[in-house]
Amino acid sequence: MYVSFVLPHWFLAGKCHKFNPEVDEFGAGEMPLLLDLMEQRLEEIVSDPTNFVDKEFMMSVFDTIKLNSPSFDEYMKYLLENKKSKNLDDTEEFVRIKQFVDELFDPQDETNQQTTELTIEFGTVAAKAWLDEFCKTGSGKNTYKYLRSADGESAYDKFEKEELDKFIWKQATNNPSEEGWGIASGEYFGKTTILGGNTAAIAMAKYNKPFHIDHKYPQNNGWFHKLPYELQRALLAMAIHLWKLVRLEERRKINLQSEYKRIEREQKFNVKILAASEKYMKHVVFCTSINQVAGGLQVHKQDPSFTLCHLIPKS
């Protein structure tokens, strides 16, 4: 399932906003179609479990999309011919995905041959679990809203082509909200001296990729390369001139923050000392009162092993 379902799905979800609409008839608006295709194949696995170990069946889940998307077709060829993955037993650093696929559907290893029936059983369980989890209206997941089988409100067949075209160049993932936070976290926790504002600025610059160059599709170049040459030089000159001043200001503010934290720690420490002193004085007064009332002050002086702490209540 990882090679048949997951990897192609990841690629389409993560890269469809970069597809050229003149040749690739697939965008974020077509993502519900992936769910329909997967649901259909999973149901066929449940009805005939041997499909799970049928190479032609499992490796053709998204063939209808390949026919209309040269970019996806190119990726699938790369995936099945050239893509490498780390080998879990460390006998080789990397192994081609093709080797995994060949062994999956035509096992040569004796252990793999003996576990074919178990693999079929596990595959059927996984298919049923996926259908129950994502395709039923009462499962708590919203996936069913995108399925034609459930007559979902956002199913693929509910939109006309003009509406789907609005999703061209749009991302199909939540990267716009998540990736920026991920980059900012890496910058903030990876550096010992950086301000929050500067962290946000660096994260946004890395996310928006203003200096990115796409030789295949120049329209995807970062905004910096779309500026007039003179303006590019002016911006670079200003950055070179200001970076030292920015770092000095950053250091000054960090020093102010460090001093504030030092004063705050001292104040908290003084509060604890004052509270401890008051508690100690209360105990001294209590012990003295007990000694005086009992007339035991002289007695205690004659017993070196006795201290006032013996009279302090444990509570």
User: Phi, psi at residue 313, to the nearest 5°?
Assistant: -60, 140
Q: What pLDDT is stored for residue 52 in this prediction?
A: 94
Q: What pLDDT is stored for residue 89 in this prediction?
A: 58
Taken in order 93, 95, 97, 102, the sign of the CA dihedral is: negative
Which amino acid makes up residue 77? K
pLDDT in tens, 40-66: 999 999 999 999 999 999 999 999 999
Strand ranges, E, within 10-87: 84-86
**Upper half-sphere CA count for residue 1 (Cβ side, 13 Å):** 14
Q: What are the structure tokens assigned to 242, written together? A: 């200001």
Q: Packing angle between helix 7-15 and helix 70-81, nearest 10 degrees?
A: 140
Can you list the residues of the chain whose pLDDT is less than 70? Answer: 86-94, 137-140, 191-192, 289-315
Which amino acid makes up residue 167? F
pLDDT in tens, 150-183: 888 888 989 888 888 888 888 888 877 777 778 8
Q: What pLDDT is stored for residue 306 in this prediction?
A: 47
Report CA dihedral (257, 259, 265, 267) to the nearest 10 degrees.
-120
pLDDT in tens, 124-147: 999 999 888 887 766 667 888 888
Q: Where are the alpha helices (DSSP H) in 62-143?
A: 63-68, 70-81, 97-105, 110-114, 116-134
Pairwise CA distance, residues 5 & 191, whole Å = 38
Which amino acid makes up residue 61? V
The closest alpha carbon to 40, from 126, 156, 148, 164, belongs to 148
